[in-house]
Amino acid sequence: MSVFDHPEFDDHEQIVYGFDADSGLRAIIAVHNTALGPGLGGCRVFAYPDDADALTDVLRLSRGMTYKAALADMQQGGGKSVVLADPRRSKTPQMMQAMGRLIQSLGGSYLVAEDSGSNEADMREMVKQTAFVAGGAAPINPDDPGDRDTSAATALGVFVGIQAAVKFKLGLDDLKGLRVALQGAGKVGQVLAAHLHQAGARLWVSDSYAPAVDFCVEKFAAKAVAPEDIAGLDVDIFSPCALGAVLNEQSIALMKAKIIAGAANNQLAEPHHGLNLLEREVLYAPDYAINAGGIINLYYSGTRRRWADIEAHIRRIGPTLEEIFKRSSEAGKPTSEIADQMAEARFKKK
């Protein structure tokens, strides 16, 4: 199939295939849109069955980054890269350096960051070959989680988003006594659980990794829930922080929560599930609006990094969500659709 006829092709500015015989690197970089700035996005290392799957992933994910950056009010575009390799078995420092050279060859239209399958050590290899690695500065104060540790920043943004959703939907200024079902107590989920616990919310937690649940039970007085039961719990807020496509026909039919607000990417299994949630009067905080804290954190790299500025920017996720909720209720349209419209208005007018 021609790239330009690919169902996920959406006026991407650059799609670059890279191969390095010495290291065995096989990679694709997609820069979706640079109207607001260089295309920022993670480098995913994954053992794709073939390069058609890798292409689909990189086209879809890079587009998503443009929307996320625009909605988070950043002078940044959207990009993504994929390396076709098993991150545990076949990824090597030489391969990551070759990836760095490929990124450098784009001259700055793509800015790389960590993603699933890549980590701090990989970024250090790439930095040897390219100036276009997001982040780099050491944390400059104890409250600063560091620019490559995106999960604490993401969790803060999700917490702020939950507060905004509670205010809009329930008319409450605080979370005291509210019941939250947290799906996934990983890097983001655990920090979010700490914020929620401190704010007086009551927690029900599920994770397929039992020690993660135990941690929340012990630290935050959470109640453990089996993974298959979490989405249907009788709670005020459902917070998906594990995996995508959790909002589907089955889970929406069971949903008793009035608010869905969590960190997971691509929560709606299909776009029309946004409408299903609206019809059931469940307030959905669009995933890429509420989980932008991590990318905002990356945006403030090097000398311009001040945690106070970053935190203030992350806290703007609250007003952005309020605006989405308000417009959604006025227009009778899903919050997911409104978020897309607001993002497009920013990057398409440039």
Dihedral (Cα; 138, 142, 148, 151), 10-degree rounding:
180
38 scored as a contact of ligand NAD (CB under 6 A)? no
Q: How far is the CB of 280 from ligand NAD (least distance, A)?
A: 22
Interactions with ligand NAD, residue window 204-243 (CB under 6 A): 206-209, 212, 227, 241-243
Instruction: For residue 200, give both structure tokens.
Output: 């007086």
At 248, give phi and psi (nearest 5°): -135, 180
Question: Within its chain, how far is the Cα of 272 from the centroid?
Answer: 20
Q: Which stretch binds ligand NAD (CB under 6 A): 41-49, 170-178, 181-189, 298-306?
A: 181-189
77 scored as a contact of ligand NAD (CB under 6 A)? no
CB 12 within 8 A of CB 59: yes
Q: How far is the CB of 79 from ligand NAD (least distance, A)?
A: 16
Residue holding tokens 């809009």?
Answer: 168
Q: How far is the CB of 20 from ligand NAD (least distance, A)?
A: 28
Residue holding tokens 């480098």?
Answer: 43
Q: Which stretch binds ligand NAD (CB under 6 A): 49-57, 84-92, 148-156, 327-335?
A: 148-156
Pick the closer one to ligand NAD by CB: 243 or 331.
243
Please give the radius of gyration of the chain, using alpha carbons only, rounded to the nearest integer: 20
294 scored as a contact of ligand NAD (CB under 6 A)? yes
3 state SS of 343: helix
At 18, give phi and psi (nearest 5°): -130, 140
Which of 186, 194, 258, 316 binds ligand NAD (CB under 6 A)? It is 186
At 247, give phi and psi (nearest 5°): -100, 95
Q: Which stretch binds ligand NAD (CB under 6 A): 55-63, 123-131, 182-190, 276-284?
A: 182-190
Catalytic residues: 80
3 state SS of 240: strand
Which residues sit at the interface with ligand NAD, rule CB under 6 A? Answer: 150-151, 154, 183-189, 206-209, 212, 227, 241-243, 263-265, 291, 294
